[in-house]
Structure formats: structure tokens, C-alpha cells
Amino acid sequence: MKIEVLYPEAANLFGDCWNHRYLKECLPEAEFVYTSLGDTPEFVNGDVQLIYMGAMTESAQERAIAWLMPYREQIVQLVSGGTVFLMTANAGEVFCDHIENEDGSRIEGLKIFDLYAKRDMMHRHNSTVLCEFESMKLVGFKAEFSQLYGDNSANAFATVSYGTGINSKSKLEGVRINNFFSTAIVGPFLLMNPGFVKYLMKLLGIENPELKYEPVIMAAYARRLADIERMANK
């Protein structure tokens, strides 16, 4: 099994590097490939089962788009074929239609899904999120200068019960296309949601997934979920 981490030298804000580090703890037999900006992605040359990228600055976003644009058609084929992608925080915006700056200028995205991002660099949105994915409760936080707009009703990742979805007027979080998952939730997302780690492991062919430090991480999740549900019910 091969897992590729894109742009690890920059796409690591909010502790997002611990998403792939924890996956590595849970999948000790897997080969992890770390592909830096400008290098040829491993998914071009070989069989990759999961592709991950995390939070980055806005300038790093633009560099990531320019870097990945020549491989757009291969990415489309991988998404269509069911390869697992996990994009956390603003990494998913790299794959949207375009990113709009405050002055109206645009950065064209990879156009894997038909939403667009709007930046507001003078106002950071911060919130706590409780949402549901396939009967699984997911928790985490938002910390973003940009939000997504458009209609994701047909391909939302999760339904929000507390907090915001892709923008302040939405209760639909993120994007899911086949096994491509994009969410703005940070935490880090996988450490906050061990059930989703098991879900990913099953997608990767592991019938009975076992998590590293499972009793501790499940107890932490239960405590966090209870705290957020208490906030939601006030």
C-alpha cells in the first residue's frame, strides 16, 4: 500500500502534519511518499492508494495549483476511478473552480468540483463544528480566511448540526466525489475523528482496522464530542 503526502514542507498548518503522521502509526506496513513542490507526484508514476494534502498559506495554495495543474487530467481519472483523496483545511480549494481575491482577481483552480472560494484576509472565521457523515458524528474546528460558495447539495461531505458548512450560510460541509474527501475542518481532523480513520482504512482494504493508541484516542473523541454536544444544546 502506498500513501502520498503532497507538499509536506508547506501544507502543514494547524498541526495538519499529524493527520498523515497518525495514519503512518496506524498503517506501519504502508509506504509513505512525501512529494515536495516541483517534484513529479508519485501518483503519476505508480499505484497510489491514498493522496493527502493539508492546510497551507494562501501563497502556498497558488503555488500548489500551478504545480498540480499539468497533472489535472490524471487527477480527474484517479478521482473517477475511486482513489482515496483526503484534503483538509484549505487544501480542498486547490481543487475548486477558482479562488476569488478581495479585489475581484481570480486564481483558476484544478476544477475537480464546481465550487469557488472567496478570500477575506482581514477577517478570519473561527468556529467549532459538529457534523454527520454516514451516521458518524465528526467534530473539529474552522480557522479560515476563505470559504467556499456554490451548490454542494449533491456532493457534500457531511451535514452540519452545530457550526457552519462551506460558508456561514451553509449547513453542508465539504465535498465528496467517490472517495475524494475535502473538508475545511482542522483539529487535526483525523486525530479528532478516529472513526473516520477506520473508515479510510476500510476503503484501503483493511477489513478489521485497529488504531494506534485506540483506547486513548477513542476516549478523547468521546469527551470532545460530549463537550461540543453540550455547547450545541445550550
Pairing between β-strand 31-35 and β-strand 2-6 as defined by DSSP bridges: parallel
Average pLDDT over every residue of 98-120: 97
Q: Please give the tally of structural domains in the chain.
A: 1
CA 74-5-16 angle, 5° bins:
130
What gap in Å lies between CA 159 and CA 121, rounded to an integer?
Answer: 26
pLDDT exceeds 80 at position 46: no
- Digit-coded pLDDT (tens) for 139-174: 999 999 999 999 999 999 999 999 999 999 999 999
Using CA atoms of 60, 14, 97, 106 in order, give the dihedral in degrees to the nearest 10.
-50
| Per-residue pLDDT band at 65 (split at 50, 70, 90) | very high
pLDDT at 93: 98
Whether the per-residue pLDDT at 31 is higher than 90: the answer is yes
Q: Is the pLDDT of residue 27 over 80?
A: yes
Residue range of the domain that includes 211 = 2-232
CATH at residue 37? 3.40.50.880
pLDDT attached to residue 169? 96
